[in-house]
Structure 1
């Protein structure tokens, strides 16, 4: 029977490997697929994948070693570097999520306004600049609160030494904990909740208007080809297609044009509304479940360090890390273009095609 330490190590390994594989797959898909490269939102998704990939490589791997061994074996210098990478990359991941929410809201509420790729790149650069500032502030201004040693302990460079077992541990002062939590989580989370709520209400309002118009019309002509064009559009993101389908009816209609009763269309709009709620619920629910406990515990720990045990803090920390595992699934698996690219990559269909997915370098 596996010991508790072995089970914990397996959990760590699963989180890290899925995060590594998923985020690397997103980057490769966007890089190799012409259609995905043309979609502006995918710039944000690549930035998100890079931040989550860095969390997997530079943060989670060393956190797993630290937690499993019970001490920090990588030296004093990398302890500081690791802490900075931790704060910077996790903040970048969260800020990228809020940037995606803003971009999607603008796409729906202002569909005729074209946002240039240059502006998106500026926003992404700003996200990383803010993240790096938050991540490195605690070292530059020495706002980190170290545990004071006794009985052979020595506090140097953020590592707590207990006889022969060094520990890399960051104890934040209340001011820094509150400030970083506001910038890294509270403001982005509030922004995401507001934007996704407004986005959903906006889509629901237009669906309701459509329903009223259909009820006022005895017969409604539908062209399945046009509906299919909306579903297959390269510029419509995964849940944007759901909202766009408010203007369509049945997916598998056999005829080119047919008449649909208003009550049938009304039922379809109801299903669309449920899909929209489910999709947005998964996005916000996963984000809040993963990160809310950590930031609550982090602030409490800065004021009352003895109230939160090491086990509790590690648990909420890894719950936050798990968000980097969930992001590539949530933000790409419901996107038809990503699913096609993933299948080509995973199942070896890498020859040149109309989608220009060319991993073997044979494309000219």
Structure 2
């Protein structure tokens, strides 16, 4: 009897796939569990250890890490034997609990991504107001709670009460899925709220951030070119060649004014201003004349040349520093734009196949979509939970520093000891 039972259990384990495929899939699923749990656990530990991370925008990253960590620690491990054997072995009550938690965590993960994108949108478009509210952690916690409540209300009540409302259960023994699995109208409504609306929102927020960055970059470039041309003109005015060229330019302007028949009043006013400036210069020259006038004139010339060269050097240094700053900002803005594009692309790639296949499967009652395609799209949702710690916290320097502190404490001690001056 023991041999028969062991053979039955072995056949049950290897009944859905062959031995090679079962082992391969089991290893891949185990790696996904480890990656999801470890990646999100690092985010949680970093938030606990490093108090400088406790800002409003990082609280939303914490909320995302909590939901993704529970996906890896609870949802995936219970689903692995079910997908390998094709049979749910934990009973109907636990199946319902697992479904509630799984739908809750996946939906809250999506809503948290929307919240993070919205928070970044505010930090770029309303920077002053956003900085003033950075210390308001109560508002951040309230938003986190709202995310969990909305995520539960979307699927939780339907999973719990569907069979009582309809008066019967359609789930056979040994299987575990929601009662509304083939209800097209409910799934279409829920998918709109769970994927389509969040995806459009994330796309809108990130596109707005990109356009805002592009606009600010263009303004910075225009200001930089304006300052550069202005400093060039000032330097040109200081040099003797520049004075000569400016005089020529003024003479050309005078000829142009005469050819264009400018009003006599304007020309008379310009002549009066010029004569007044000549008188002022003569007065200043007469004041400077005296026994030491020659020496003072030569000294003034030398000091003027020295000050002109000093000012020219300072302006060149300022232009170089502005150029470096401008290049740094441009490269940083390009990196931000690339990271935003990656975030939107991965979110759409992980969620779109499952949502579309789920709607099509419900419409044709499961007859037009092969099971392996649906299973693959289902696993993409959980892969998103493993990728999120790389996409969001690891892009922040503060989180990377906290991860180094957690993973390499010796390096942190060496760095701090080298940074201290010798006694």
CA distance in structure 2 between the partners assigned to 1:220 and 1:66 by the alignment: 72
TM-score, with length taken from structure 1: 0.77
What residue is the counterpart of 1:107 in the other structure? 123
What residue is the counterpart of 2:157 in the other structure?
Answer: 137
**Is the alpha carbon distance of 1:91 and 1:212 closer, same or farther for their aligned partners in structure 2, counting shifts above 3 Å?**
same
Equivalent in the alignment of 1:310 = 371
* Separation in 2, partners of 1:272, 1:219: 25
Q: How far is the alpha carbon of 1:260 from its aligned partner? A: 1.6
Q: What is the DSSP-based 3-state SS (H/G/I as helix, E as strand, rest coil) of the residue aligned with 2:175?
A: strand
Matches within 5 A, 1:1-364: 3-37=20-54, 39-113=55-129, 114-115=132-133, 116-142=136-162, 159-161=171-173, 166-170=174-178, 171-218=181-228, 258-260=318-320, 268=328, 270-304=330-364, 305-349=366-410
C-alpha distance in structure 2 between counterparts of 1:263 and 1:181, whole Å = 49
Kindly indicate which of the two structures has a greater share of residues assigned to helix. Answer: 2
Residues 302 and 213 of structure 1: is their aligned pair in 2 closer, same or farther, counting only changes over 3 Å? Answer: same
- The offset of 1:299, in angstroms, is 0.9
1:281 Cα deviation from its structure 2 partner:
1.3
Report the secondary structure of 1:306's partner residue: coil
Change (3 A) 1:195 1:144: farther
Matches of 1:334 and 1:16, distance apart in 2: 22
Q: When the two structures are aligned, how many residues end up with a matched partner?
A: 307
* CA shift in 2, pair 1:9/1:69, >3 Å: same
Deviation at 1:184, TM superposition (A): 1.1
Deviation at 1:203, TM superposition (A): 1.1
Q: Decide which structure has the larger Cα Rg and report it.
A: 2
Q: What is the root-mean-square deviation of aligned Cα atoms in Å?
A: 3.0
Following the alignment from structure 2 to structure 1, what is the Cα–Cα distance between the partners of residues 321 and 50? 40
Answer 1 or 2: which has greater strand percent: 1
Moved more, 110-119 or 341-350: 341-350
Offset of residue 6 of structure 1 = 1.3
Instruction: Label 1:218 to 1:350 Cα distance change in 2 as closer, same or farther (>3 A).
Output: closer
The question of whether the paired residues in 1 share the 8 Å contact of 2:404 and 2:412 is answered with: no
C-alpha displacement of 1:338: 0.8
Normalising by structure 2, we get a TM-score of 0.67
How far the C-alpha of 1:9 sits from its partner, in A, is 1.1
Change (3 A) 1:142 1:102: same
Q: Is the 8 A contact 2:107 2:151 kept in 1?
A: yes
CA distance in 2, matches of 1:143, 1:111: 49
User: Which blocks of at least 5 consecutive residues in structure 2 are unaligned?
Assistant: 1-17, 232-316, 417-423
Q: Which runs of 5+ in 1 are unaligned?
A: 147-155, 222-256, 356-364
Query: Are 2:68 and 2:109, in contact at CA under 8 Å, matched by a contact in 1?
Result: yes
